[in-house]
Amino acid sequence: MREVDIDAVPLDRLAGLLEPARAARLARYVDRAREILEGRTIWNVNATAQGGGVAEMLQALLAYTRGAGVSTRWLVLAGDPAFFAITKRLHNVLHGMAGDGGPLGLQEQVVYHEVLERNAATLAPMVRPGDIVLLHDPQTAGLTRVLTERGAHVVWRCHIGRDTPTELTEVGWAFLRPHIEHAAAFIFSRRAYAPDWVPTDRLWVIPPSLDPFTAKNVDLTPADVDAALHEAALKNTTPDHGSLAFTRRDGSTGTVRGHRRLMVDGPPMPRGARFVLQVSRWDRLKDMAGVLTGVAGHLSDLPRDVHLLLAGPDVAGVSDDPEGAEVLQECRGLWATLPARARRRVHLACLPMDDVDENAHLVNALQRRAAVVVQKSLVEGFGLTVTEPMWKAKPVLASAVGGIQDQIVHGESGLLLQDPQDLDAFATMLVDLLTDEEYARLLGTGARSRVRDLFLGDRHLTQYVDLFERLVAAGPGQEQLTTGSAAP
């Protein structure tokens, strides 16, 4: 297990963005939190320190929690390829997708259990009775029992899910249930994601949130955006004295490096091009390949200055996602089959993962410079890649799946694609957004206010405080344990 360092950030910074009544409510909650959590630590455990929405959110929330004077720590579990192949399978089936189609039986339980037992040996002695432990996603579920026995309040938070159960989701839940059923509470991003055996009095619905001040979301001037994209060789721009500096999460200043190879198989986007952007992990469920096919097949319907950029992390840098390299390869294969004139307008980029702050700054610049941001996921737990461009007042076109439906109100704060596989409808909506600037601008404005209303950190943190208050009042976590034994 490895600990992730987080520097405290004062909550005043977030409060400064809020209306006075909302800021005052947050301040009351902070006082309550300090009282309830006095002498306790809140532990977060997940599978990766970088790459993906969970890591993104933990960075911001933990920094504010520390800033509020509450003790919190973040540990990333250690696993091996066999373990991550199983947990990726679980991830896929809980979304109702077969993934690699491999089994989730007794043998997989043994591998899963062994890895988590090793992690528990490091973690359990550090956790004190009365502490609160938030275990994120299937990778960490198997730590529930041992930490509950330790006297901690163990919360299992699931960031993925599917609105309607299928045979596959049942397979995933059958695997996980023995590990988590003793959790003191369960958090899902949507009510519909919770399997029906989760008791309602232990079920909490807490959608994710975005932090406006991180390198990913902070305001940038157009000149700085252009400078960053030019220096990273993602898009040629006309230099306009923009700065290459960005602020790292530890407060220090970073500088965009002169990358030359982020674009896979092709040159930077040309000066003057507008572009449609999808930023995602290289995960089949994000359907990067579908976006490529949908846009490439309709290039003649789109204005001639429009390009497509699919941007994801450098696949060597996301250790808990064994599928990444394969999906990128599939996209490269599709790209290679396009006619030369289409290849000039369709681009794939792998963003560096050796410097997460620079990665975030580049994503920020791309989202800000994009004409339209799409997220054509086949299923989606929540989709911070939708929230982020919405906050930047961009027109977003995304599939009407999972948490995206809670974010976008169709026609007000973006456009929803009812059937993610319908490439004609996808292209038609893209054309609308790219040809009607006023419509695109209105949707962008609506998007920003929707995020301000519903998806900033104060809403998230206050929900956590309500949950922690309930847990602490209910007494030590051990009381949740029954005599049933966890698998295997």
Half-sphere CA count of 227, side-chain side, radius 13 A: 16
Task: Give the angle 430-212-159 at the CA atoms, nearest 5°.
Answer: 75
Question: Around Cβ 313, how many Cβ atoms within 10 Å?
Answer: 24
Q: Which is nearer to ligand UDP, 72 or 364 (CB)?
A: 364
Question: 314: which DSSP letter?
Answer: -
Stretch that binds ligand UDP, among 6-14, 51-59, 80-88, 253-261 (CB under 6 A): 51-59
396 binds ligand UDP (CB under 6 A): no
385, 399, 413, 462: which one binds ligand UDP (CB under 6 A): 385
> Which of 368, 382, 373, 369 lies closest to 414, judged by CA?
373
Stretch that binds ligand UDP, among 99-107, 148-156, 191-199, 277-285 (CB under 6 A): 277-285
Residue nearest to ligand UDP (CB): 53
> Which of 183, 158, 182 lies closest to 172, judged by CA?
158
Q: Which tokens go with 434?
A: 């790219």
Q: Which is nearer to ligand UDP, 47 or 429 (CB)?
A: 47
33, 154, 180, 279: which one binds ligand UDP (CB under 6 A): 279
Which residues neighbour 276 within 8 Å (Cβ) at sequence distance 6 or greater?
A: 295, 306, 307, 308, 309, 370, 371, 372, 373, 374, 430, 434
| Residue 408 C-beta: closest distance to ligand UDP, Å | 13
- Residue pair 135/141 in contact (Cβ under 8 Å)? The answer is yes
53 binds ligand UDP (CB under 6 A): yes
| Residue 361 C-beta: closest distance to ligand UDP, Å | 10
52, 67, 138, 195: which one binds ligand UDP (CB under 6 A): 52
> Which of 417, 483, 411 lies closest to 447, judged by CA?
411
> Which of 165, 216, 162 lies closest to 189, judged by CA?
162
Residues 59-118 that bind ligand UDP (CB under 6 A): none
Q: Which is nearer to ligand UDP, 224 or 283 (CB)?
A: 283
Determine the straight-line distance between the first and last CA of the chain, rounded to whole angstroms: 22
| Residue 259 C-beta: closest distance to ligand UDP, Å | 13
Q: Which is nearer to ligand UDP, 351 or 423 (CB)?
A: 351
56, 320, 357, 458: which one binds ligand UDP (CB under 6 A): 56
Q: Dump the DSSP string for 82-137.
A: HHHHHHHHHHHHHTT--TT----SHHHHHHHHHHHHHHHHHHGGGPPTT-EEEEEH
Stretch that binds ligand UDP, among 80-88, 196-204, 297-305, 307-315 (CB under 6 A): 307-315
384, 408, 447, 486: which one binds ligand UDP (CB under 6 A): 384
134, 296, 302, 351: which one binds ligand UDP (CB under 6 A): 351
One character per residue 308-347, x = contact with ligand UDP (rule: CB under 6 A): ---xxx----------------------------------
β-partners of residue 164 are none
359 binds ligand UDP (CB under 6 A): yes
Q: How is the beta sheet containing 346-351 ordered, strand by strand?
A: 263-264, 346-351, 306-313, 274-279, 372-375, 396-399, 415-417
> Which of 26, 407, 467, 287 lies closest to 415, judged by CA?
407
Instruction: With CB under 6 A as the rule, give the number of residues binding ligand UDP.
Output: 20
188 binds ligand UDP (CB under 6 A): no
> Which of 233, 279, 236 lies closest to 257, judged by CA?
233
- Residue pair 371/389 in contact (Cβ under 8 Å)? The answer is no
120, 180, 227, 363: which one binds ligand UDP (CB under 6 A): 363
Kindly report the backbone phi and psi dihedral angles of residue 478, in degrees, each rounded to the nearest multiple of 5, phi listed first: -55, -25
360 binds ligand UDP (CB under 6 A): yes
Q: Which is nearer to ligand UDP, 109 or 413 (CB)?
A: 413
d(CA 39, CA 76): 23
Stretch that binds ligand UDP, among 124-132, 233-241, 256-264, 381-389 (CB under 6 A): 381-389
142, 172, 383, 402: which one binds ligand UDP (CB under 6 A): 383
207 binds ligand UDP (CB under 6 A): no
388 binds ligand UDP (CB under 6 A): yes
- Residue pair 425/417 in contact (Cβ under 8 Å)? The answer is yes
Q: Which is nearer to ligand UDP, 431 or 454 (CB)?
A: 454
136, 281, 284, 369: which one binds ligand UDP (CB under 6 A): 281
Which residues lie near ligand UDP (CB under 6 A)? Answer: 52-54, 56, 216, 279-281, 311-313, 351, 359-360, 363, 382-385, 388
